[in-house]
Structure 1
Amino acid sequence: MYFLIFIYVILVFYTFLVWKYKYWQTKKIPFVQPQLFFGSIKEVVQGKTHFGVLFRDYYHKFQSVPYFGYFKMREPAIIVKDPELVKNIIIKDFNSFANNDFQVDPQNDPIWAQNVFGQTGERWKKNRHAWTSGLTALKVKSMYDDINAKCDVMTEYLKKHTENNPNEPLEARVLASKLFTDIIVSSVFGMETNSFEDPNNAFINITKSFFISTFLDGIGTYIFMVAPWLGNFLGLRFVSKRVENQLMEVAKILVEKRKKLGLQKTNPFDNLLMNGYKKDSAATEFSTLDVAGLIFGFLFDGTETSAGVSGFMLYAIAANPEVQTKLRAEIDEAYKLNGGKLSHENVYDMQYLDMVFQETLRLYNPALIMQRLCTKPYTLPPVSTAAKPFQVPVGMTVIIPMYALHTDPKYFSEPEKFNPDRFTEEGKSNIQKGAYLAFGDGPRICVGTRLATSQLKISISNIIRNFEVRLAPQMVNNPIKIDPNVFLMRSVDNLWVTFHKRAL
């Protein structure tokens, strides 16, 4: 009898695991065959490949359809391939896909819960508006002198490095992280750091935590992406308790400083406090947790994502000497036209610099996928002439495979080649809408686009103006391998480059 009960329990459990695996078959929609326990993402669970890389492989297996199904463990989800449908989902029909499917419990991870990326409803609208008003074009432009001053510090550091340690490589992403940390601390928080001279200051220690990559980190990210409820149940966090404590300490310092000096409308951080987190007119009423969340948001978005793009941009420039030569000529001309200096307007007037930037974002975009949650019933057109329209149910995950779209030869010839010329004015007009999503699009487009663009372009201009950048010997003929344990685009191997001072 006990044996029969055991068999019955096993059968019930097995049925529970597999009964949804017929979902796409009943809908007559092509799908990736699932495997028990893993669904369609076994390689991700095992830490062998990144979500974006796996979905790109699936993307190419389903050549003739605008979308197809897969299973995240036992739950059916959908991957949309067609750029026109992508555009509708993230722009035209945004209200049906208003939320990112990447949410945490505020009680369990209060710092990450402050980030607009995972927020929903009225809270998202309010804080999104605050971030948008805090990072207007005029406010970012007002940060130019601070950005340029920190770039000068970096340039002096690199000059000393090339004199004292010629041909010794530096890791491109780490270099950029130090610079962008100092920029954010100075221009946003109103404090001073020099991460090149003091690599263990409080802020750089916080940003270093963003770069930790382990198999366990990958498992945690995987759990939140496929079963957020399980991540919250297990008490998993994106921001460790140690980092949270560090942020809270820095927040106390900033709150005290604001109490003495008051809030400045022109400062992005203060503007956010006034528009999104203000409880009354007194700075003493700001929640330390709110301030800590804002500090995290600026540091994460201003260092992790920007440093990643900058690292890949330096790598690509070093790997393509003809691109570097052409870019340097444009930068030198911009300096010459402005009396040996670089103005904010000069930076945005440089067309080839923007082309190199856009091509870097195509090949090495921080986000490999966009993960949306269906919030209102939505109808997709038939997947084929023989099929019926598909009603996307509320709660279903919809994947936009950005990495796959950016490297599809249908939209970008020789997609693996770094070729900035595809982003000439004529070239951009020929790119199908929805096939290139450097910063996302629609109401959830990246709020830090202006700040990221400014600090990246200014810093790259300073570097290429003063140095020739070359790949370190260990990087030659060593293609980029995407780290499977990090949600954002990250190279498994360090991006080693050498700097060689120019005679100006």
Structure 2
Amino acid sequence: MWMFIVAAVLMVLGYWRFSRSHSYWIKKGVTQLKPIFIFGDFWPLFSRKLSAPEMTQAMYNSGQNLRYVGIYQFLQPVLILRDPELIKQITVKDFDHFLDHMTLLDSDTDPLLGKNLALLTGIQWREMRCTLSPSFTSRKMKYMFSLMSLNANQFVNYFLQKDKVVIEVEMKDVISRFTNDVIASTVFGFECDSLKEPNNEFYTMGRATTDFTNLPTILVFMGYFLAPKLLKFFKITMFSDKINRYFTTIIKENIESREKYGSKRPDMIGLLLEARRNKHNDDDHTPLPDTGFATVEESDIGKNEKLRKCEITDEDITAQAFVFFIAGFETVSTLMCFMCYELGVNQGVQEKLRNEVDATKKKCGGKITYEALTTMKYMDMVVSETLRKWPTTVGTDRMCTKPYTLKPKIADEKPVHLDQGTVIMLPVYGIHRDPQYYPEPERFDPERFSDENKSKITPYTFFPFGLGPRNCIGSRFALLETKLLFYYTLSNFEIIPVEKTQIPLRFNRKAITMSAEKGFWLGLQRRVN
């Protein structure tokens, strides 16, 4: 009897605790959605009623005519910003009050993820950002251009060897193999061919690392929000010990080999070792074209040499290389897949891009150069519009690191006092699909980013790689890799819809990342020159 009474009391207390957490924004005078017990506003994602981008857009749209709206990531209160001026204020003007991303991982428990640049906080982030920034300049990307070009050429030659006019492929599968090989070459310093050797260990580990549809990964992800101290106590990490050991070992052996034999290679480990020695080969200051309209600019923090980290450990290098691997394998390949889809269903756009590819190829005598690729205007317009319509990061966040007050600007607003630790969300997908900023947002229209039109884009409404000092350090890498793949592919093939192509494309609601419900099935039709 007493056990039932105790259980009932605990249930009531638990419900009271959760309900109290979900009244946080009401007490602050902020309009909030209708949170569900424990799950907050994330229930549609975990019940698979909505995908992550669909849920982000729904939450964004719920705040019509508001500058911000309150939601809950499980029990965590989060403020969604909807106003471009307010986004600028938080990410740039008052950045010192919003220095960090939301802290989910403990670097001692999970150093492979916890020590990467994206999740570092405070002075540790400042030092690492400033230390790594010289490794991600346009000139350093030009160093890597030859390695990426070899991989793109290898990708296309694999399909050219097939005796078929139309080759039907699932783009996510083949492109993730390409991005895997690029990461192997440009980050980890070794060569592999994942199309010819589909079960090579590096690719197999990559697939396991970026599988965000399995239940254990989803449960750990939930645990970071609901019970982070419990995960830390039991030393539960996002990835298995096997994955952690694999990547730690190959980086360690790679570094030891280079230091022993004094070998140098224009890849990420080489650049990080340069950063460790505080030696960056930037003697040539000849201006270079940047990688595109979406490229983010480095802030003064990244350029402050006084902040450079005194010592970069092998663990630091491993953490940066590992997160770059995840981003390159999953995020960049997803961008390429959506671009393939749009070119497949918008043949007029593809024809115009192919014409530019052919003209560029002729201009540089059949051998593409960094300068020729990065000055292709229509290529950049197509990539930018893909990032606008299908931003592979549907939202990003900031955490309030000093108490801050949002001052009222419109009718019915009151001052909102943000406590230290309050999480702010920037709904990339929602803003990129807002007809107020992009008329007919569902239409794929590269002309939005023409020389005549891109100046009309409302500032702080296009940020596929984030904003302010905490923007994505790898934007140049991602854009260069994407443009190279499409240059080589469209030089030899037309991308066409096939019977399996899902039109219109729908999101996979079983994944916590941005992916297609039925895959990215398209055809590569050999061009007749």
SS in 1 for 2:472: coil
1:495 is aligned to 2:520: yes
| Residue deviations 1:93-147 (CA, integer Å, cap 9, x gap) | 1111111114312233221123211111222122222321112211110122222
SS in 1 for 2:528: coil
Matched residue count: 495
d(CA) in 2 for partners of 1:400 and 1:480? 23
Distance 1:277 1:233, change over 3 A: farther
* Correspondence for 2:373: 347
Distance 1:211 1:187, change over 3 A: closer
* Correspondence for 1:282: none
d(CA) in 2 for partners of 1:480 and 1:276? 45
Root mean square deviation, CA, Å? 2.4
Distance 1:44 1:231, change over 3 A: farther
**Greater shift in the superposed pair: 44-53 or 390-399:** 44-53
Shift of 1:267: 4.4
* Correspondence for 1:35: 36
Structure 1: stretches of 5+ with no match in the other structure: 279-284
* Correspondence for 2:184: 185
d(CA) in 2 for partners of 1:225 and 1:75? 7
SS in 1 for 2:185: helix
Structure 2: stretches of 5+ with no match in the other structure: 279-310
Distance 1:383 1:485, change over 3 A: farther
**Greater shift in the superposed pair: 146-155 or 8-17:** 8-17
d(CA) in 2 for partners of 1:130 and 1:174? 35
| Alpha-carbon contact 2:379-2:483 (below 8 Å) kept | yes
* Correspondence for 1:214: 213
| Alpha-carbon contact 2:67-2:81 (below 8 Å) kept | yes
* Correspondence for 2:334: 308
Shift of 1:214: 2.1
Shift of 1:287: 5.3
* Correspondence for 2:193: 194
* Correspondence for 2:243: 243
| Alpha-carbon contact 1:105-1:232 (below 8 Å) kept | yes
| Residue deviations 1:291-345 (CA, integer Å, cap 9, x gap) | 4324313322322221111111111111110110000011111111112222111
Distance 1:239 1:378, change over 3 A: same
Within a 5 Å distance, the mapping from 1:75-474 to structure 2 comes to 75-161=76-162, 163=163, 165-216=164-215, 217-225=217-225, 228-229=228-229, 231-233=231-233, 235-262=235-262, 264=264, 267-276=267-276, 288-382=314-408, 384-474=410-500
Identity value in percent: 29
Distance 1:440 1:83, change over 3 A: same
d(CA) in 2 for partners of 1:26 and 1:123? 34
d(CA) in 1 for partners of 2:409 and 2:220? 34
Shift of 1:238: 2.5
Distance 1:95 1:241, change over 3 A: same
Q: Which amino acid aligns with 1:315?
A: Y
Distance 1:227 1:356, change over 3 A: farther
Q: Which amino acid aligns with 1:90?
A: T
d(CA) in 1 for partners of 2:248 and 2:201? 11
Shift of 1:208: 1.5
Shift of 1:384: 4.2
| Alpha-carbon contact 2:189-2:265 (below 8 Å) kept | no
Shift of 1:47: 3.7
| Alpha-carbon contact 1:250-1:292 (below 8 Å) kept | no
| Alpha-carbon contact 1:68-1:80 (below 8 Å) kept | yes
Q: Which amino acid aligns with 2:157?
A: E
Shift of 1:239: 2.5
| Alpha-carbon contact 1:115-1:293 (below 8 Å) kept | yes
Distance 1:499 1:265, change over 3 A: closer
Distance 1:23 1:168, change over 3 A: same
d(CA) in 2 for partners of 1:8 and 1:480? 45
TM-score normalised to structure 1 length: 0.91
d(CA) in 2 for partners of 1:24 and 1:294? 36
| Alpha-carbon contact 1:45-1:222 (below 8 Å) kept | no
d(CA) in 2 for partners of 1:453 and 1:109? 29
| Alpha-carbon contact 1:224-1:230 (below 8 Å) kept | no
Distance 1:129 1:390, change over 3 A: same
| Alpha-carbon contact 1:69-1:77 (below 8 Å) kept | yes
Distance 1:265 1:150, change over 3 A: closer
Distance 1:474 1:11, change over 3 A: same
Distance 1:256 1:356, change over 3 A: same
SS in 2 for 1:193: coil
| Residue deviations 1:158-191 (CA, integer Å, cap 9, x gap) | 1123x1x553421212222222222232234332
d(CA) in 1 for partners of 2:435 and 2:481? 31
| Alpha-carbon contact 2:71-2:79 (below 8 Å) kept | yes
TM-score normalised to structure 2 length: 0.87
SS in 1 for 2:77: strand
Shift of 1:17: 2.0
| Alpha-carbon contact 2:432-2:461 (below 8 Å) kept | yes
